[in-house]
Structure 1
C-alpha cells in the first residue's frame, strides 16, 4: 500500500486505476501521515505535497542527482538509512472565494493577490489575521484600478477564512507562498472537497485548494478563483478551463489564448503562475517491495530515458498536473 497527501489523492487514484501491471492501493492520509507511514513502514511509499526539509529526516540533508538512465540504478548499493524522494508533478494552488452579496462583479475582474507583496498589497496575510474586511479590500481594488463606478457599502463585512488541517502539505505550501502564518482563527477543512464545500456554503468566505479541484469552480457553485500576480488559471466560472486570463489595468480580466494553464504552471513561454508546489513520492531502497514499487514508479514518472506511458500522461493532463522529475537522495 502507498499513501499520503490528500491533494495527490485524485491524481493517484486515477494513476492506480489505470495501472495494469499489478494492484496498487493509494490511501489518502495527509502529507505528514505519508512521511510517518513511510518511516514506520506501514506503507511502502509516502506521498507529500509540500517541500521536504532536513527536519523531516532527522537532520539528514539531500543530494540532488540527475535523471537516471535506469530507474533501478537508484537502489544500487544503498546505505542502511537512505531515503529517496522524487518530485513527479507540479501542482498549482488556487485562492477561492465567495464574495458577499453586495460585491460588484467588476471587482472579480480586478482582484489579484501578490507573491512579492509590500505593506500595501499584503492582503492575504491581513485577511487571515482578521485585519481586513471585504469593504476595505473592495476600496483597495477600486483605488488601484480607478474603478469610480463601483459603490461599496458603509459597513464592515468580516472574511470567513478557511485553512487546511495541521500537517497538510497544502497548508504548509499556502503559508510558505503567502507568508500568512496566523491561521488559528480560520475554519479547518480536512480535504480539498471539504474546503470547496465550506467556502461555497457561505457568502464572504475565502480559502485555497489544489488545482486538480479546478473543476469545482463553476457558476452554480458561486465560487471564483482570484488572480495571482494578475494571472488567473482558466475555469468553468470564467468560461474556458484551458487558457489563462490576465488582468489589464484598464480593461480588467481577459482571456489570453496564447497560453494554456499548463504553460503558466510550468513557467513556459515567459508566463508564470507563481502559486505552485510539487507532488513528491518518498521511498526507501531497502523496502521489501522495492522491485514492484520501481516498476510502478517507472510507469507513472516521466524519466527521460524511459517511455512515459500514454495512459499516465493522459491522467496528468486531465488532472492539470505538469509532469516533472527531480530526484534527491537523503542519507
Structure 2
C-alpha cells in the first residue's frame, strides 16, 4: 500500500458519504478501511470516550527497556543533528519487552483512555489506548490538539512547574507551529484557539498532567470527498515526528533501529456527518510467540537531558486501570 492509494480509498468512502473506520500505519505500508456496518468482531474501538475511572492502584507491568547506554547513543546522535541545523525537535521512540498478567483483550476492556483500539488479523495483534486526538472535523471546521509535555500530578506545584519549564515550552511551541502549518495545507483561517492548557490523564498508579493546545481551520463545504487528501497530507503526525518533518523522519528512521509499524500511525471514524481520529500512542503489540512489546517515546530538543528523557520513555509504559 502507498500514500496515494490510501488517499484515494478514503476519498472514495467520503464521496459516497459512507460511514467507515480506517487505520493507517506510521509509514503508510499498512492500511485497513471498512464500512462501519461490516466491521469484523476482531476490531473494536472507542472514540472520544468519557473517562470515568477513579482507580489509582498499581497495575503490574514488568519492563525490559533498552539500556541507558544504547539510548544515550541515539540521543547524542540527534543532539549532533540539532547542532548541524538539520532538526530542532524529534520524537525518539523505542520498543520495550514487557510482561503483564493481562491479555490484549483484557487490556482493551479495562483501560481508561479517550481513544481505544483493539486490532487483530493474521499478521498484526495489538491494543492502543491513546490520550491524543489527531484531527476532528465537524461542521466544515477541522481541529487538531497537539500534546507535548507531561508531569506527575503529585510533583509539588506540578501545573506551574510544567507550564513554566523552558524546555517544555520550546518543545510544545515547535509542535504547535508544525501542526499549524500542517493545517494550513488543507484549511483556511487557521488559528491557535487555545495555547498550552492542562489535561489530566490516568496512568494506572499515578495521574499525569499533559500539556495540550487547540488549533482550528475552515474547510470547504464538500470536504468529505477530499477527506483522504486532507488526512494523508498531514501524516505522519507532527507530534510523533518532529520539525522540520521530512528531515526529522529520515533521521528517526536511521537511528531508532526498529519498525514502528502501526505505532504512531492513526485510526479514525467517519460517521456520515463528522470525523474523528487518534494518534496511536500508548501501544502494546503481541508477536506470534505471545510475547508483548510496548512502544513509547518522547520529544528531544537542544535543552533535553538524556537521563530525564530515558526515564520518560520508561514512565510512559503503563496500563491506565
TM-score grouping bracket, smaller chain normalisation: under 0.3
TM-score, length-scaled by structure 2? 0.25
Bigger Rg, structure 1 or 2: 1
Point out the structure with the larger strand share. Answer: 2
